[in-house]
A and B are shown apart, each in its own frame.
Chain A
Amino acid sequence: MFAILQYPFIQNAMLTGAVIAVIAAVTGYFLIARGLTFAGHALPNVGFAGAAGAVLLGIDPILGLFVFTIGASIAIGLLGSEVRERDTSIGIIMTFALGLGILFLSLYTGYAQQVYSFLFGQIVGISRQDVLITTLVSAFTLVIMIILYRPLLFSSFDPQVAEARGLPVRALAIIFLVLVAVTVSLAVQIVGALLVFTLLVGPAATAVRIASSPLRAICLAIVLGISYAWLGIYLAAESLYWPASFFIATISFGVYLPVRFLSPWLREHRGKPVIDASTNIARRDFEGKNV
């Protein structure tokens, strides 16, 4: 039954899947805490456009991915802080980038399959070198997240108070979005633009409903993310042609729904509402460090 795990390409897929699941779960937690789920959907799409542009110019698609996603993330960070305005500008930046992507695709006369693989992912074509690069960049992103953990958490839950305490809220927002862009650029090549979003939001959304403190929620999200990714890749490998992204999305939704409907009951039995607890913990952590 597990014989399939002996193939090196499956091992590579499992390794990269796990690395991406970890970094996506951590970034996803902050995305949800900041109400930026939409950005988590928009950035992969923007990245797709960048990859299409790079393919057209004949340069490495990774370059296009990074340039487009980081550019869009800075624009999102600069435009509008109010929810309504921000969602609108995210939507317009995304569709503008996608429009460019479509233009690039129509101008490109070569083999379009390479471009479509950025939409749907290519989890079986991963080399050892890809695994190494993904791991290194993810580790780098993770280290920055750990360094920024307390101020980032504080400014996510209570931006007004954080600003009053002298935290550079806007700069933090932009740095965070750039980190999301890096994560997304890594993940798009492997799981595809359409489903990066699943690994970003699925595990974190479920964890936030269960765990009461930010740290526990992040750890739970990481565990959930790795399990979804491994189970999805395994099922896809066993079923031969069904896509891994479909399994991952279905598992993620299948776990989220019961948790979503049971969570009011869970909270009743534990007392403290999740958001208040998280805000308090974020503030306490931050002040504990500074006082």
Chain B
Amino acid sequence: MFEILRQGFVQYAFLAGTMVAVITAIMGYFVVLRAQAFAGEALADIGFAGATGAAVLGIGALPGMLILTILAALGLGALGERMRGRDVEVGMVLSFALGLGVLFLVIYAQFGSNAAEGVGVLFGSILSVTRSDLLITLIAGCSILLLLAFLFRPLLFATIDQEVAQARGVPVRLLSSVFLVLLGITTAETVLVVGVLLALSLLIAPAAAALRLTYRPLTSISLAVVLGVCITWGGLLLAFVGAGTHLPVGFFIATLAALAYFLSIPLSRLRFSQRYRPLPHPTRECSPLPDHR
């Protein structure tokens, strides 16, 4: 039953999946706290344009995605001075990137190649992860983790209470841009494993579930990592071992992730009685329309 685990491509898939799960869980903690789920989704979809563009140019999908997501992250950082609630800017960049992606896909199909191959980016192709993809994932992942460890305290401060952090001299704007670039790199890697359409699920579900169950930052992050790795391994195992029906990995991962989140809602009600729930923070809500400055 477990013989399949000895094969090379399966081991690559597990290695890549584990690395991605750890990084997305940690990044996801900040994404959920900063209410940037939409930005994460947008960056993943921008990865689609990057991958199809790379296919047209004949370079690898991962470099193409990395280039475009980093560019888009820089653009988003420049457009929105505060990303929270400013989802219109994200939406506009996203729709433009999707248009580009569709164009690249059409051009790619014109060259006689199969459009379904380009569509593969949408759904992920963890089974075709190569050694060089693995290496890039490892290097990028380690740099993200190092940078996050270095920025952890100011980033958490700026995330939880932006106004006070700014008053204390934390470079909030710069941190926000740096975080978006890290998020761009993370989503490009996640796309490799679960595809454009499901990257968001690994990014936010483990962290959102963990945030419902604990309030301490480090405990939340650790729980998110554990959940993320369990979800990924569970998805891979079910896909590889499950009855030989070849159901897609992405389906299992997305379902397990949704299950974890929806289970965490009643669990958090049990754990924290209604009385002790923290009040909503005043800075969390903010106007979606362009306001006066």
Give chain A's interface residues, CB within 8 Å of chain B.
Answer: 32-35, 37-38, 40-41, 45, 82-84, 87-96, 98-103, 105-107, 112, 116, 119-120, 192, 194-195, 197-198, 201-202, 205, 208-209, 241-243, 245-250, 252-253, 256, 260, 263-264, 267, 273-276, 278
CA distance A38 to B45 in the complex (A): 13
A88 partner residues in chain B, CB cutoff 8 A: 32, 37, 204, 208, 261
Distance in Å from the Cβ of A264 to the closest Cβ of chain B? 7
Q: Are A197 and B94 in contact (CB under 8 A)?
A: yes
Interface 9-residue window, one of B82-90, B166-174, B215-223: B82-90
Distance in Å from the Cβ of B53 to the closest Cβ of chain A? 12
Q: Are B99 and A195 in contact (CB under 8 A)?
A: yes
Distance in Å from the Cβ of B290 to the closest Cβ of chain A? 6
- Who on chain B is nearest to A159 by CB? B285
A209-B290 in contact given A103-B247, A195-B102 (Cβ < 8 Å):
yes
Distance in Å from the Cβ of B39 to the closest Cβ of chain A? 10
Q: Are B289 and A202 in contact (CB under 8 A)?
A: no
A99-B102 in contact given A38-B87, A41-B41, A205-B91 (Cβ < 8 Å):
no
A105 partner residues in chain B, CB cutoff 8 A: 123, 248
Q: What are 8 A-B pairs with beta-carbon distances under 8 A?
A: A35-B87, A37-B38, A89-B261, A96-B254, A100-B251, A102-B198, A120-B105, A252-B92
CA distance A195 to B106 in the complex (A): 15
A40 partner residues in chain B, CB cutoff 8 A: 91
Pick the residue among B33, B255, B261, B291 that contacts A99 (CB under 8 A). Answer: B255
Q: Are A32 and B102 in contact (CB under 8 A)?
A: no
CA distance A107 to B102 in the complex (A): 25
B41 partner residues in chain A, CB cutoff 8 A: 38, 41, 91, 94
- Who on chain B is nearest to A192 by CB? B102
Q: Are A195 and B96 in contact (CB under 8 A)?
A: no
B252 partner residues in chain A, CB cutoff 8 A: 99
B91 partner residues in chain A, CB cutoff 8 A: 37-38, 40-41, 197, 201, 205
- Who on chain A is nearest to B197 by CB? A98
- Who on chain A is nearest to B89 by CB? A260
Distance in Å from the Cβ of B128 to the closest Cβ of chain A? 16
Distance in Å from the Cβ of B176 to the closest Cβ of chain A? 16
A103-B258 in contact given A95-B198, A208-B289, A267-B292 (Cβ < 8 Å):
no
CB-defined interface of B50-70 with A at 8 Å, one 1/0 digit per residue? 000000000000000000000
Q: Are A116 and B115 in contact (CB under 8 A)?
A: yes
CA distance A208 to B288 in the complex (A): 11
B200 partner residues in chain A, CB cutoff 8 A: 91, 94-95
Q: Are B85 and A83 in contact (CB under 8 A)?
A: yes
CB-defined interface of B86-118 with A at 8 Å, one 1/0 digit per residue? 011111111110111111011000100001100
CB contacts under 8 Å to A, within B260-293, are: 261-262, 280, 284-293
CB contacts under 8 Å to A, within B121-169, are: 122-123
- Who on chain A is nearest to B261 by CB? A92
A32-B287 in contact given A38-B37, A198-B99 (Cβ < 8 Å):
no
| Of listed B91, B200, B253, residue having the most chain A CB within 10 A | B91
Determine if B180 is an interface residue (Cβ-Cβ < 8 Å). Answer: no
- Who on chain B is nearest to A273 by CB? B292
B208 partner residues in chain A, CB cutoff 8 A: 88, 92
Determine if B119 is an interface residue (Cβ-Cβ < 8 Å). Answer: yes
Q: Are A82 and B284 in contact (CB under 8 A)?
A: yes
A103 partner residues in chain B, CB cutoff 8 A: 247-248, 251
B258 partner residues in chain A, CB cutoff 8 A: 92-93, 95-96, 99
**3 shortest interchain CB distances as A-B pairs:** A249-B99, A99-B254, A35-B288
CA distance A175 to B85 in the complex (A): 22
Apart from A35-B85, A120-B102, what are 6 other A-B pairs with CB-CB below 8 Å?
A91-B204, A92-B257, A101-B197, A102-B248, A249-B102, A275-B291
Q: Are A274 and B289 in contact (CB under 8 A)?
A: yes
CA distance A37 to B88 in the complex (A): 6
- Who on chain A is nearest to B288 by CB? A35
Q: Are B95 and A246 in contact (CB under 8 A)?
A: no
- Who on chain B is nearest to A156 by CB? B288
CB-defined interface of B226-254 with A at 8 Å, one 1/0 digit per residue? 00000000000000000000111011111
